[in-house]
């Protein structure tokens, strides 16, 4: 039986491990922390006794590789699937709007939602239909450079109101970066996959349990049941290489793990490899801030909502998402592409969140805040700047038995769960085909 050593227990490493163990390989997965999940995990908050996510993750119906992985480990019943795309938008000026798509084939479903979206004028909504042409046939570069999303949207006749009201929110949610600094090429891939292939692809999908219970625990069980081993709390220090091959993974404690194939599923900024593979200085981080606010009573009717004219992009009602009264009064706030706020003290961020919530949920003013928890993920994703794709390495490397997994590798997608799982599947497929 061929042996595969995988370094890193996030979505990329676990999805590769699940694929390979089910294909008859002996897998050993090494994770330096004492828990699995990478940048998507939950933890027990001692102050509230609640299991909190390190950050809210939105999946979409187009995450075919993610759902294949979650189905393999038996957890698709822990997901809520919208029937059709529907998003509530709350404006800090006091208005509320809904983007609601009819059950029509793609892209007619999206067009139906846009044409009925009253946050912008009818003339602007009609101009929004130019996006269809741009996604299907448009060019995301000109003679001198790759376009930013803002430049591309302007080329497609999208005015300031349309950009700020809809496209910017979609951009920041999917790319974790401002449209002025994001690659139109990557965004176009996302739009095509989500909105122009199948009606189900545009649906929002949410985990109905904390993240670790969604995938980490079941992936651990699945890999072990298929003959694999998972080693937590041990740190790899170097890859042993020679003759264009890896011969082992050296641990900090001096032990060496040996296999036939190796997958590095660590972030791009990791110093582990000591080679050119993870040294990608062109990739820069983009942070996400999550703010959990526990109130003495429920405040919000919506399951989740996007915010207009606010530093906050999303509010999630955890009681409704988890369908668990233990989470009553818990709202989770997301600030994506949070460069401006990452060094702001946590107390100040809570103040900002409360101020913004009072504008869209007036009941916040009379509620008592019982507890707050601010989580800053400085390296949440790489920043998908124009031209960044040419620096993202392939899953195959010049070393014949070494493969790279991670959302930062060449997937054509931004740094999403789907990108991470896709990279893991690509590594597994490459090894199986040898």
Q: Is residue 236 part of a domain?
A: yes
pLDDT tens digits along 312-337: 999 999 999 999 999 999 999 999 99
- Domain end: 365, 382, 399, which one? 382
Distances (CA, A) of 329 to 21, 27, 50, 320: 42, 42, 12, 10
Same domain, 254 and 327: no
| CB 54, CB 33: distance < 8 Å | no
pLDDT tens digits along 253-293: 999 999 999 999 999 888 776 555 556 778 999 999 999 99
pLDDT at 5 exceeding the cut of 90:
yes
Mean pLDDT of 117-138: 90
Check residue 63 and give its pLDDT.
98
**42-44 and 51-53: which strand pairing?**
antiparallel
Q: Is residue 73 part of a domain?
A: no
* Domain containing residue 326: CATH number: 3.90.660.10
| Strand segments (E) across 234-303 | 236-242, 245-251, 256-257, 261-264, 285-295
| CB 426, CB 397: distance < 8 Å | no
Same domain, 302 and 346: yes
State the chain's mean pLDDT as an integer: 95
Check residue 138 and give its pLDDT.
83
Query: How crowded is residue 161: how many other Cβ atoms within 10 Å of its Cβ?
Result: 12
With pLDDT > 90 as the criterion, what percentage of the chain qualifies?
A: 91
Same domain, 277 and 420: yes
- Domain end: 151, 170, 198, which one? 198
Same domain, 270 and 132: no
Confidence tier at 142 by pLDDT (50, 70, 90): confident
Q: How many CA atoms lie within 13 A of 169 on its CB side?
A: 23
Mean pLDDT of 97-107: 96
Q: What are the tokens at 343?
A: 């060094």
Check residue 269 and give its pLDDT.
86
- Give the position of tokens 């590789």: 65
pLDDT tens digits along 398-412: 999 999 999 999 999
Check residue 270 and give its pLDDT.
83
Same domain, 176 and 125: yes
Q: Is residue 78 part of a domain?
A: no
Confidence tier at 143 by pLDDT (50, 70, 90): low
Mean pLDDT of 43-52: 97
Check residue 185 and give its pLDDT.
95
Same domain, 161 and 297: no
Closest by CA position to 293, among listed 209, 342, 352, 208: 352
Q: Is residue 92 part of a domain?
A: no
Same domain, 354 and 397: no
With pLDDT > 70 as the criterion, what percentage of the chain qualifies?
A: 98
pLDDT at 366 exceeding the cut of 90:
yes
Same domain, 248 and 397: yes
Burial class (CB in 10 A: 0-12, 13-18, 19+), 399: middle
Same domain, 351 and 301: yes
Confidence tier at 139 by pLDDT (50, 70, 90): confident
Same domain, 291 and 377: yes
Number of compact structural domains in the chain? 3
Mean pLDDT of 86-98: 95
**3-7 and 26-31: which strand pairing?**
parallel
Q: Is residue 145 part of a domain?
A: yes
Handedness of CA 146, 416, 313, 193 (dihedral sign): positive
Same domain, 361 and 391: no
Same domain, 297 and 377: yes
The pTM of this model reads 0.96
Distances (CA, A) of 171 to 128, 184, 308: 15, 10, 14
Q: Flag the least confident range among 14-28, 29-43, 119-133, 218-232.
A: 119-133
Q: Tell me whether the omega of the peptide bond preceding residue 421 falls within 30 degrees of 0, making it cis.
A: no
- Domain end: 340, 367, 382, which one? 382
Domain that holds residue 289: 285-382
Check residue 324 and give its pLDDT.
96
In angstroms, the CA 95 to CA 90 distance is 6
pLDDT tens digits along 168-223: 999 999 999 999 999 999 999 999 999 999 999 999 999 999 999 999 999 999 99
């Amino acid at each position: 039986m061929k042996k595969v050593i995988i370094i890193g227990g996030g979505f990329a490493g676990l999805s590769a491990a699940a694929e390979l163990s089910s294909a008859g390989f002996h897998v050993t997965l090494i994770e330096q922390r004492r828990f699995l999940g990478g940048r998507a995990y939950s933890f027990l908050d001692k102050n509230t006794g609640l299991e909190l996510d390190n950050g809210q993750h939105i999946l979409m119906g187009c995450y075919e590789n993610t759902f294949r992985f979650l189905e393999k480990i038996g957890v698709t019943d822990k997901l809520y699937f919208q029937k059709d795309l529907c998003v509530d938008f709350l404006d800090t000026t006091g208005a509320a709007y809904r983007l609601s798509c009819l059950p029509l084939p793609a892209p007619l479903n999206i067009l139906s939602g846009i044409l009925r979206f009253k946050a912008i004028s009818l003339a602007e909504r009609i101009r929004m239909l130019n996006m269809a042409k741009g996604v299907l046939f448009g060019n995301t570069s000109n003679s001198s450079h790759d376009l930013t999303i803002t430049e591309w949207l302007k080329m497609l006749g999208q005015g300031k109101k349309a950009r700020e009201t809809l496209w910017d929110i979609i951009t920041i949610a999917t790319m974790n970066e401002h449209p002025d600094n994001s690659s139109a090429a990557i965004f176009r891939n996302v739009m095509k996959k989500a909105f122009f292939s199948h009606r189900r692809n545009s649906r929002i999908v949410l985990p109905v349990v904390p993240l670790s219970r969604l995938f980490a625990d079941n992936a651990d069980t699945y890999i072990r049941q298929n003959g694999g081993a998972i080693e937590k709390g041990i740190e790899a220090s170097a890859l042993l290489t020679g003759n264009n091959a890896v011969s082992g993974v050296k641990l900090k404690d001096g032990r060496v793990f040996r296999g036939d194939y190796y997958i590095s599923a660590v972030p791009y900024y990791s110093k582990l490899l000591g080679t050119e593979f993870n040294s990608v200085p062109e990739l820069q981080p983009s942070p996400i801030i999550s703010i959990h606010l526990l109130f003495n009573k429920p405040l919000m009717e919506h399951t989740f909502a996007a915010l207009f004219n606010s530093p906050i992009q999303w509010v999630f009602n955890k009681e409704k998402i988890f369908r668990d009264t233990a989470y009553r009064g818990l709202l989770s706030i997301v600030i994506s592409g949070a460069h401006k706020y990452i060094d702001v003290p946590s107390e100040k961020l809570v103040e900002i969140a409360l101020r913004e919530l009072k504008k869209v949920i007036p009941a916040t003013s009379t509620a008592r805040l019982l507890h707050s928890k601010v989580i800053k993920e400085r390296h949440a994703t790489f920043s998908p700047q124009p031209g960044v794709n040419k620096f993202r390495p392939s899953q195959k490397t010049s070393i014949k038995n070494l493969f790279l997994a991670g959302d930062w590798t060449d997937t054509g997608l931004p740094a999403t769960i789907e990108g991470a799982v896709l990279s893991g599947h690509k590594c597994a497929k490459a090894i199986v085909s040898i």
